[in-house]
Structure 1
Amino acid sequence: MTETRPEREPTSETPQSNERPPGVTDEVVLAVGRLTEALETVERARGHLYEFHQLCGSADAKLADAIEQLRDAGQSDTAQELQRDLLGRNVAPDRWSFQVVEEYDDGYWSPFREHERRVREFLLDGRRHVAEAEMKERERSRPSEA
């Protein structure tokens, strides 16, 4: 990071605090909050990839059952065709679903998490969800309407 860190006095608060460090501008809090939102979307996408991975595995296991049932029903040619053309098939060129997940983890998810953490460390003393904590405080301190 080539920018200078915002000038502020060290605080005695722990890095786990969600309070804005002294001297940090609204613009920085909002920008880092938006970066964190982007990471949360990446996390959700990763979860969907794991869902995809598990569904592919489940489909393959069910296909294996169907192939066995077709053999038992005297449909050996059909069973052989399914086994040859579908069972254990790659979901992407030369890759099973677990390899797609690993590539996502290594090539996108891990670097994204690392950059988000580094930006938080650099600009917010590592504090998480500062923008959300401030939104919570604004929402809770709003006068109630009767």
Structure 2
Amino acid sequence: MTESGESRESRADGPDEQHRRPDGLDDATVDALGTLSEALEVVEHARGLLYGFHRLTGKADLTLGDAVDKLREAGHTDLADRIERELLGRNVIEGRWTFQIVEDFDDGYYALFRDLERAARDELAAGRRHLFEAEMKEERRTHGEPGHEARP
């Protein structure tokens, strides 16, 4: 038996070393780190949406250029000229195209968020990730059942 009361066999069947809480790490800290990780996952999702916005806006501007060409070819020169002058290549927010928004986000908020989440894991859990989820998996899986293995 280990200090936690587990048999050595159940420990070998459980999570790998990188997904086991270090000795002395309490439930409240594992929960807090799990919530911090969850917040980072939301930011990762938001980042993906921001990159989607970047790509879609760029595609829209390229397509708008095609529309301007077609309007001009169809004889609507004044309208084509106005759209080209006022909208084509326009900043999406003051002074910025979307690539600049993405860069500011990545280099500022996102980088700091990732750094602080990693620092918290390094300081409190020896850098280990997803401890909360690994323990949840152990509680929820059916030991010995196919498809419920602890490790790949």
For residues 111 and 16 of structure 1, what CA distance do their matches in structure 2 show? 28
Structure 1 match to 2:106: 105
Q: Partner amino acid for 1:27? A: A
- Aligned partners of 2:38 and 2:130: how far apart in 1? 9
Q: Does 1:43 align with 2:44?
A: yes
What secondary structure, in the 3-state scheme, does the structure 2 residue paired with 1:89 have?
Answer: coil
2:125 corresponds to: 124
Q: Distance in 2 between matches of 1:46 and 1:113?
A: 12
Identity among equivalent pairs (%) = 53
Once residues 55 and 142 of structure 2 are traced to their aligned partners in structure 1, the CA distance between those partners, rounded to angstroms, is 44
Query: How many residues get paired?
Result: 129
CA deviations on 1:28-62 (whole Å, 9 max, x unpaired) are 00000100100011111100000000000000000
- The alignment status of 1:133 with 2:134, answered yes or no, reads yes
C-alpha separation between the residues in 2 aligned to 1:83 and 1:64? 8
Q: Which 10-residue stretch deviates more, 16-25 or 86-95?
A: 16-25
Distance 2:118 2:93 in 1: 31
Matched with 1:20 is 21
| Distance across 1 between alignment mates of 2:47 and 2:134 | 25
* Distance (Å, rounded) in 2 between the aligned partners of 1:131 and 1:96: 39
Distance (whole Å) between structure 2 residues aligned to residue 130 and residue 51 of structure 1: 31
TM-score (norm 1): 0.85
Q: Letter of the aligned partner of 1:19 in structure 2? A: R
What one-letter code is carried by the residue in structure 1 that aligns with 2:140? E
CA contact (8 A) 1:16 1:128 kept: no
* Paired residues for 1:7-86 under 5 Å: 17-86=18-87
Unaligned stretches of 5+ residues in structure 2: 1-15, 144-152
Which segments of 5 or more consecutive residues in structure 1 lack a partner in the other structure? 1-14
Partner of 2:5: none
Residue 107 of structure 1 and its aligned partner are, at CA, apart by 1.3
